[in-house]
Amino acid sequence: MESSKMETKKLEMFEIGPCENAYHMGFLIGQRFSNQIRSRLATDLILQQQLLPFAQTPKSKPLIEALSDANRKKFPRYWDELLGTAEGSGTPVLNLILLNFRKEILPFLPKISTNSNGDATDDCSDVLVVSDSMAIAAHNEDANVALVGHTYLIKATLLNGICFTAYTYAGELPSCAFGFNNHGLAFTLNSVPPSEDEIVAGGIGRNFISRDLLEAISIDDALTRIHSSEASVGHSYNLIDLKTRRALNVETASKNRVSVHEVGATPFFHANTYLHLQVQQVHDENSISRQKRAALLPKQSKNDFLSLLGDMDDAKYPIYMTGPLLYTLCTTVIDLDEQTLSIIEGNPKKGEVSHVFSISL
């Protein structure tokens, strides 16, 4: 019942900056959203039942220290932003470190402490097309039900003139979900599950890489940032460039492995399995089911895309999720020709748009 109450709460946006430094920006974000951050920390079962207990064991220390050192050295501003968020929200730094590195830590937990549903936290779905008549990227932001009511929008202006808008999970860096900036660069994200042998301990965290993408000035710059990321685990990035009317799906894995697929006139659907980068991966029945279902649905118009992302035909593995474990927090539609990003709360078939942003160039 609690989640249904939170579901009706309007997604809040906080406009911030330019700030004197990254720590100050993080502090103000933490202060503004302290209630959401504290609530998430208290109710996130992955944090409470898996990450925090693991962090108290001797085995965790080298891993958490290696992750912290690597990311602090590569992205000192974003590390300061994280520290500021902890201070501003009055929460332990360790808790926010664990949230931001959850994907990099969970594979190393003793198997007895995990379960098959333990990290089903961001099983998103995307459908994209770039044709003569339509250029659209539509995305379901799916997460563990603990995130319902624990997200917000950050619109930040930086000292270098970059302005970005980012959908943000409480306590995490903007954005582990989707965002755009004033250079006409936007992105959405899909989790992918490399097998344990494919993961490098102590590498760069995906939250830090996606935070870096918010400052990319072009699609080529975004690709350069991804290529040089030295990621610990894998990820799938959907890069959208309004200046060049291009969309790319970029699949990554550790050891700087990257594969780029240019989206064209044939609609491209991506769930949570690698489609073109050759990587050993965990078998994900949920994602495979959504991939198969999407292949059967029409994809000729924007309304078709919304109907696809709102599809609940498969009772066990629907594309649009309503619990009990996974939940579609919102749907976003990026229209490259209209140069807009729209956020829909509720099933996208019903078109309940809560926010529309102009992506100015």
How confident is the model at residue 111, as a pLDDT?
Answer: 74
DSSP for residue 12? P
Closest by Cα among 88, 69, 89 to 79: 69
Q: Is the pLDDT of residue 95 over 80?
A: yes
User: Residue 323: pLDDT band by 50, 70, 90 thresholds?
Assistant: confident
Q: Is the pLDDT of residue 234 over 60?
A: yes
Q: Which residues pair with 137 in a beta bridge?
A: 128, 334
CA distance 113 to 115: 7
Residue 52, CA atoms < 13 Å, CB-side half-sphere: 13
Q: Which amino acid does the sequence have at 33?
A: F
| pTM, rounded to two decimals | 0.94
Task: Provide mean pLDDT across the span 341-360.
Answer: 90
Asked if residue 247 lies in contact with residue 336, where contact means CB atoms within 8 angstroms, the answer is: yes
How confident is the model at residue 8, as a pLDDT?
Answer: 47
pLDDT in tens, 246-257: 999 999 999 999
Q: Which residues pair with 164 in a beta bridge?
A: 156, 181
User: Residue 9: pLDDT band by 50, 70, 90 thresholds?
Assistant: low
Tokens 């609690």 map to which residue? 2
Asked if residue 259 lies in contact with residue 250, where contact means CB atoms within 8 angstroms, the answer is: yes
At 280, list the tokens: 């050993």
Q: Which residues pair with 247 in a beta bridge?
A: 240
Asked if residue 344 lies in contact with residue 225, where contact means CB atoms within 8 angstroms, the answer is: no
Q: Is the pLDDT of residue 216 over 60?
A: yes
User: Residue 361: pLDDT band by 50, 70, 90 thresholds?
Assistant: low
Closest by Cα among 280, 27, 4, 33 to 150: 33
User: Residue 115: pLDDT band by 50, 70, 90 thresholds?
Assistant: very low
Q: What is the DSSP string of 76-133?
A: HHHHHHHHHHHHHHT--HHHHHHHHTHHHHGGGS-GGG--TTTT-----EEEEEE-SS
Average pLDDT, rounded, for the chain: 93
User: Residue 352: pLDDT band by 50, 70, 90 thresholds?
Assistant: confident
Higher pLDDT, 334 or 353: 334
User: Residue 122: pLDDT band by 50, 70, 90 thresholds?
Assistant: low
At 288, list the tokens: 């495979």
Q: How far does CA 66 lie from the centroid of its chain? A: 23
DSSP 3-state of 324 = coil
Q: Is the pLDDT of residue 221 over 80?
A: yes
Residue 161 has a CB neighbour count (10 Å cut-off) of: 9
How confident is the model at residue 132, as a pLDDT?
Answer: 97
DSSP 3-state of 231 = strand
CA distance 152 to 164: 14
CATH of 125-358, one of 3.40.50.300, 3.60.60.10, 3.90.580.10, 3.40.1280.10: 3.60.60.10
Q: CA–CA distance from 194 to each of 167, 200, 251, 273 (Å)? A: 25, 11, 11, 9
With respect to CATH, is domain 19-113 assigned 1.10.439? Answer: yes
How confident is the model at residue 3, as a pLDDT?
Answer: 37
At 318, list the tokens: 């629907």
Strands of the chain, DSSP E: 13-16, 125-130, 135-144, 151-157, 163-169, 178-181, 185-190, 235-241, 246-253, 257-262, 268-270, 326-335, 340-344, 353-358
Q: Which residues pair with 236 in a beta bridge?
A: 190, 251
Closest by Cα among 17, 65, 21 to 163: 17
How confident is the model at residue 76, as a pLDDT?
Answer: 98
pLDDT in tens, 18-74: 999 999 999 999 999 999 999 999 999 999 999 999 999 999 999 999 999 999 999
Task: Provide mean pLDDT across the span 151-157.
Answer: 98
At 86, list the tokens: 């902890």
How confident is the model at residue 284, as a pLDDT?
Answer: 87
CA distance 151 to 78: 19
Q: Which amino acid does the sequence have at 91?
A: T
Domain spans in the chain, listed from the N-terminal domain onward: 19-113, 125-358
CA distance 181 to 217: 8
Percentage of the chain exceeding pLDDT 70? 94
Q: Is the pLDDT of residue 262 over 90?
A: yes
Task: Provide mean pLDDT across the span 266-282.
Answer: 95
Residue 315 has a CB neighbour count (10 Å cut-off) of: 6
Measured N-to-C along each axis, helices 76-89 and 60-74 cross at an angle, to the nearest 10 degrees, of 120
